[in-house]
Structure 1
Amino acid sequence: MGKNNKKKSNIIPAETYLRLPPLADASLADQPIIDTHTHLVSTFSTYRSKYKDGTLYTIHDFVREMYRDRNVKAIVDVWCEAPVLMAWRELADSALTVEDREQKWGGVDYWFVMGVHPHDAKSYNDAVEASILEAMAHPRCVGWGEMGLDYHYDNSPRAIQQEVFIRQLNHAVRLGKPLTIHTREAEADTERILMEHVPADHKIHIHCFTDSPEFAQRLLQHFCNLYIGITGVITYSTNLNTSNIVSQMAMSDGGPRILLETDAPFMVPSNLYNSIPEIKGSRLPLCHTAMIPWVAEYTAGRAGHPWSGADIMKRANENAKTVYGVQ
């Protein structure tokens, strides 16, 4: 993606705007929301840092309030730091029973994946790996990731990124765990490594896809259970790749093989601001799961007739069940 040089206001809208306006399209509101990639700890930390006098004091408070009456069915929380943040167990354990999910999570099904992001590959070691393997056995764990390659930032040396990526893939494949993949500006190496180390029928989520449509098509053709993650970045004028691959998938026989996600707290969908014109000129400081319908609405526009926003959400929810068993 290129840089967006448009100046943005430093004024942060009042906290109440995070609760979002009603959806204009009732059919969208009727569809359950499944967010297949969010970072709850980072999202809540961003909320507390931006709203010093905020009214929500725990992650459970945040989820219950922000998702209330938004038809949020399930979230897949992503833990990808090295060393592993041990808070994962407290959150995962708090979602073990139906009663806990109702009382603490407001009825939202909490699931998680764990891995090491390519940014932190240089910190991957046996102890980190042991912690991830322990997490894989937890009943709320549905996959390994996010992991992969990032040659845009190169926060870890590329050779180490590749080594750690392969090491994680081998474990995940051995355990039969779905893969949550981060890839940015590393098409050749990502494709080579996946094709060398992952069976063609393994379940794969290419998270927040922004690379070339040609790369996506090669992956989709080779891996029959691979799905492309769509975030609010599809709405940005600096990114045409995601829209293009959605258009191409929509014209295929099977329709779009997509998953909807936020990657919260990042990438508020820009079309959301059409629904809250009173804050024109300012920007919300974080994204969260209840914004998924705006991602779906914009994605439907890129998919074209006959796809509606509700159709996109329904298809993505079916795919979430296929990949992660989440429904």
Structure 2
Amino acid sequence: MIDSHSHIYTDRYRDDRDAVIARAVAAGVTQLLQVGCHLEDSRVAIALSERVSGIYASVGVHPHAATTATPEVLDALQALTSHPKVLSWGEIGLDFYYDNSPRAVQQAAFEAQLERVGPCTLPVVIHTRDAEPETLDILRRHPIARGGHVHCFTGTPEMAETLLELGFHIGFTGIVSFKNAANVREALRRVPLERLLIETDSPFLAPKPHRGKRNEPAFVVHVAEAIAEVKGVPVADIAAHSTRNFYRLYEKPGMTWAPLIAPDDTAG
């Protein structure tokens, strides 16, 4: 399985990051995508990808940090996209639930980053919360040739269908296993296996039976189990489809996928 979205480069894993990676390997996780939320995050995610086989990076400015998305920062992010282990631009988007940045600033940062993606020929990683009409409007006005991954989906089933029409893959987290997430499960039922991604969004949103704890990539197995139950298919089908989908969406020309290897087992 692949954890298609997590943040183990952060200080929440400072004391046991290598052990977290080893547990992911033991659980059968083959690759991790580490997703930046601002410029410095993005650089740290890349540094981790350089140190550990099977870890890849995404670069971007999250809506919470939208006030930092200056032209100079976007230039720096665009330069980072040439790194061989940077697979996408994100996470970017809108978050009107927390409103940590003014909404107009979020929208401007979102659009500015979508405009930068085209020349990089990368897919995008989208964050959207409580901003359904605005997110869809911006995505319609800024089509992305490579499409992208709307991560940690919590929108309506109708939004999921619209995103599929726009060419996006949709990622689901441990929220699928939460008792109060009936709307997310209904949206999941409408997403075909060919457009599905699985993720932990670590350190957040640990699935059952670990809810309330710090999340980690090894728990993506439980996400897959919860999704399989909703879809009424074997867990192996969820693993196989989501892995193929990840490779198809994120592969860069000429690249060879490296397996995730615990750092203690990495040469050097």
- What TM-score do the two structures reach when normalised by structure 2? 0.87
**Cα shift at 1:238:** 2.3
Q: Would you say the 8 A contact 2:34–2:45 is kept in 1?
A: no
Residue 140 (structure 2) aligns with: 195
Counterpart pick for 2:35 among 78, 82, 90: 78
Matching of residue 315 in structure 1 with residue 241 in structure 2: yes
Q: Would you say the 8 A contact 1:82–1:120 is kept in 2?
A: no
Q: Percent identity?
A: 34
Matching of residue 257 in structure 1 with residue 195 in structure 2: yes
Task: Give secondary structure in 2 for the equivalent of 1:149.
Answer: strand
Q: Would you say the 8 A contact 2:46–2:56 is kept in 1?
A: no
**1:59-98 correspondence to structure 2 within 5 Å:** 59=17, 61-82=18-39, 84=41, 86-95=43-52
For 1:66 and 1:324, locate their aligned partners in 2 and report how far apart those are by CA, in whole Å: 24
Structure 1 unmatched runs, 5+: 1-32, 49-53, 96-100, 102-108, 274-282
Task: Give secondary structure in 2 for the equivalent of 1:320.
Answer: helix
Q: Would you say the 8 A contact 1:79–1:115 is kept in 2?
A: yes
Q: Would you say the 8 A contact 1:114–1:143 is kept in 2?
A: yes
**Cα shift at 1:218:** 1.2
**Cα shift at 1:131:** 2.1
Measured on the aligned residues, the alpha-carbon RMSD in Å equals: 2.0
Q: Would you identify which runs of 4 or more consecutive aligned residues in structure 1 move more than 3 Å?
A: 82-86
For 1:236 and 1:88, locate their aligned partners in 2 and report how far apart those are by CA, in whole Å: 29
Counterpart pick for 2:129 among 169, 184, 190: 184
Counterpart pick for 1:245 among 179, 183, 187: 187
Larger gyration radius, structure 1 or structure 2: 1
Q: Would you say the 8 A contact 2:5–2:34 is kept in 1?
A: yes
For 1:111 and 1:47, locate their aligned partners in 2 and report how far apart those are by CA, in whole Å: 17
Q: Would you say the 8 A contact 1:296–1:313 is kept in 2?
A: yes
Structure 2 unmatched runs, 5+: 258-268
Residue 265 (structure 2) aligns with: none
Pair 141,221 (structure 1): closer, same or farther in 2 beyond 3 Å: same
- What TM-score do the two structures reach when normalised by structure 1? 0.72
Q: Would you say the 8 A contact 2:39–2:59 is kept in 1?
A: no
Residue 216 (structure 1) aligns with: 160
**Cα shift at 1:91:** 2.0
Task: Give secondary structure in 2 for the equivalent of 1:154.
Answer: coil
For 2:220 and 2:100, locate their aligned partners in 1 and report how far apart those are by CA, in whole Å: 29
**1:1-327 correspondence to structure 2 within 5 Å:** 33-42=1-10, 45-48=11-14, 56=16, 59=17, 61-82=18-39, 84=41, 86-95=43-52, 101=53, 109-199=54-144, 201-223=145-167, 226-250=168-192, 255=193, 257-270=195-208, 272=209, 285-304=213-232, 307-325=233-251
Task: Give secondary structure in 1 for the equivalent of 2:27.
Answer: coil
Task: Give secondary structure in 1 for the equivalent of 2:155.
Answer: coil
Number of aligned residue pairs: give it: 253
For 1:297 and 1:203, locate their aligned partners in 2 and report how far apart those are by CA, in whole Å: 27
Q: What code does the residue aligned with 2:150 have? A: I
Q: Would you say the 8 A contact 2:42–2:57 is kept in 1?
A: no
Q: Would you say the 8 A contact 1:246–1:256 is kept in 2?
A: no
